[in-house]
Structure 1
């Protein structure tokens, strides 16, 4: 099977996912890739997730302690670990899909392919920079607040790290505290970009499928300009392209549906907890954290929406997407062609293509919903419900 070097697109997102242990290194054997990811997941659960869980239990036993920050990090660590595992299990299928999206031998390169992917590469790098800045800023704030943390805490816990952890030993020892802060910060650098990078890859793949849908529409509009034989040949070509696009969408859905379900199930809870921190404590670092989660779920919902709607890239770049979102379809392009010049058999085949085109392509979030902008609004409503519950 061909490797990463044969995929000219998605290079930045694949590289950043390598930094999160979710994409194999060059020429790395699958067994070593899965082994190092498994070791990291076990260490994460044993050292971070369990420590947060114990801290939450002791906070509840003490009473009068706001546990929203602990709940947010506890849900985050579980979500990120599950997403890492689910993504890694589908990595080979995902690479095969990427290779097919770069194959233009049969239908040619879609218009604006290079410019669109160049723009997407810019946004991937921007999002990665935001993730790193957020993690560094969050940790610096916690380090500055060490004296305040030690005065106000009611139960033993680490101060100065991104997350307050319960430890069975003295967390205020200078060497021990420094090692804990460094360890948690390194873990955060690996994991902080997981949801955003996976979400961005959803957007990248969906936009590349959308480019092929737009190309198919252009082919359909000029399908019946010549004689009957040439028109029939062009329609067969379009039908085959349509079948390939449907196949791309189905494989795309299989690669991401379980991970997106975990993302969906967690985001509302995490955002609600972070909103509670912002309302009660006015924490600037919580604002950076919540923007990351809102951005990741918005990007993935946008990617799902693109499979159902056609949106010009300049509207995305100018952030007018929600205002000017307008749907067009393959069926509309087929009906807008000069089908009336074709013979009866060709018209019947075109009708079948139109009927299939009316069934939208989508990315599912498990068995319950699909990724779209309406789902994004529902998740934001859910986060508000969590906020009211915590208050």
Structure 2
């Protein structure tokens, strides 16, 4: 398959990212025990990353050490949320796969306008976002590695035993000195692998939310065009045919959106429950440590959360424009019986298509602002306690 054809395939790059991390079945393979086993192995590989961080967090609190816990709080929270997201995707693989197929399968309604162009653009965005995550991870690691001298001085002045030069603080088991070669380098490699699996994998999952919503919106825009021109013909038989076609198309889109919402509302919910704490923790880490790497991490989280909220917003907005499309048609030329049916379509369209974050609320721009405000409250709390 040529590169152009690959770029025109819906979710091509996002699913590739998920397959690399064993969050999605390989091409041509179905869900099997081997698939779940590989996912389990990936989870095990990432265990030292968050277990070491958790023990470090507990140790600092227990011994009342003079160590900032902002990074611990943000990373632990993000790991919990992203593990839940990946588990949900793996567990509901069959249903989510059916949703992906239903969005791209040939139908009697035809292909939406600009479908190939939009898919190419989405794949490009997905690649760019993945590059940001990977490059940001290595930049963050490099900045932490460069801070080793300062970390070692702090250990000496405060009598600490912090592991220096790693992505996140970690507890040293069995008295192993990780501040010497090659222990530090091995720990750093393990952390890098874990971050590239857990955090970068989670970003790929969140980006599929935006991709799915965009394609559903394309279908709605296609429906808008059909509704605007449904009654351009002078023949009544054509009116009936076009109206019946649009009603079926509308039902088809509603079914797709409901399936989308059903499969993604719990991953979205787990994401929303924790994202406020993550953002607040990273902002607090930057304010206290002046760590530019925290800004890179913070930017990724804010963008990731925004595109999920934007996905819900474009669904909501576009679904509410269906009555406008009907109003802009030549409905006034129709007999009363036709107008009654048109009125029923308008009435049904008054209910917006929503993308939920169970059990919190509905993904939208307003919801994004609300969570940012909540993060500000968390930030004020963390700045006083960590």
TM-score surpassing 0.5? yes
Aligned 8 A contact 1:55 1:157 in 2: no
What CA distance in whole angstroms lies between the structure 1 residues aligned with 2:309 and 2:88? 19
What CA distance in whole angstroms lies between the structure 2 residues aligned with 1:29 and 1:98? 15
Deviation, structure 1 residue 75 = 0.7
Deviation, structure 1 residue 254 = 1.2
**1:141-183 C-alpha deviation (Å, 9 max, x unpaired):** 1222223223324543432221111121312342332221111
- 2:170 aligned residue: 165
What CA distance in whole angstroms lies between the structure 2 residues aligned with 1:188 and 1:343? 63
- 1:376 aligned residue: 368
SS of corresponding position for 2:35? helix
Deviation, structure 1 residue 368 = 2.4
SS of corresponding position for 1:174? coil
- 1:280 aligned residue: 288
Deviation, structure 1 residue 197 = 1.5
State TM-score, norm by structure 1: 0.90
What CA distance in whole angstroms lies between the structure 1 residues aligned with 2:351 and 2:305? 24
What CA distance in whole angstroms lies between the structure 1 residues aligned with 2:367 and 2:298? 17
SS of corresponding position for 1:264? helix
- 1:151 aligned residue: 153
> Which of the residues 266, 284, 300 maps onto 2:308?
300
What CA distance in whole angstroms lies between the structure 1 residues aligned with 2:67 and 2:101? 51
Deviation, structure 1 residue 43 = 4.4
- 1:218 aligned residue: 225
Cα 1:390–1:178, aligned 2, differ >3 Å: closer, same or farther? same
- 2:335 aligned residue: 343
- 1:89 aligned residue: 91
**1:49-98 C-alpha deviation (Å, 9 max, x unpaired):** 22212111111123232111111111111111111101222222222222
Stretch moving more, 105-114 or 282-291: 105-114
Question: Which 5+ residue runs of structure 1 have no aligned equivalent?
Answer: 311-326
Question: How many correspondences in the alignment?
Answer: 369
> Which of the residues 191, 194, 198 maps onto 2:201?
194
Aligned 8 A contact 1:145 1:160 in 2: yes
Deviation, structure 1 residue 27 = 3.2
SS of corresponding position for 1:346? helix
- 2:10 aligned residue: 9
SS of corresponding position for 1:17? helix
What CA distance in whole angstroms lies between the structure 2 residues aligned with 1:150 and 1:76? 27
Stretch moving more, 263-272 or 273-282: 273-282
Considering only aligned residues, what root-mean-square deviation do their CA atoms show, in Å? 1.8
Deviation, structure 1 residue 275 = 0.7
SS of corresponding position for 2:317? coil
Q: Does 1:237 align with 2:240?
A: no
- 2:273 aligned residue: 265
- 1:317 aligned residue: none
- 1:252 aligned residue: 260
- 1:115 aligned residue: 117
Consecutive aligned runs of 4 or more in structure 1 exceeding 4 Å deviation: none
Deviation, structure 1 residue 213 = 0.4
State TM-score, norm by structure 2: 0.91
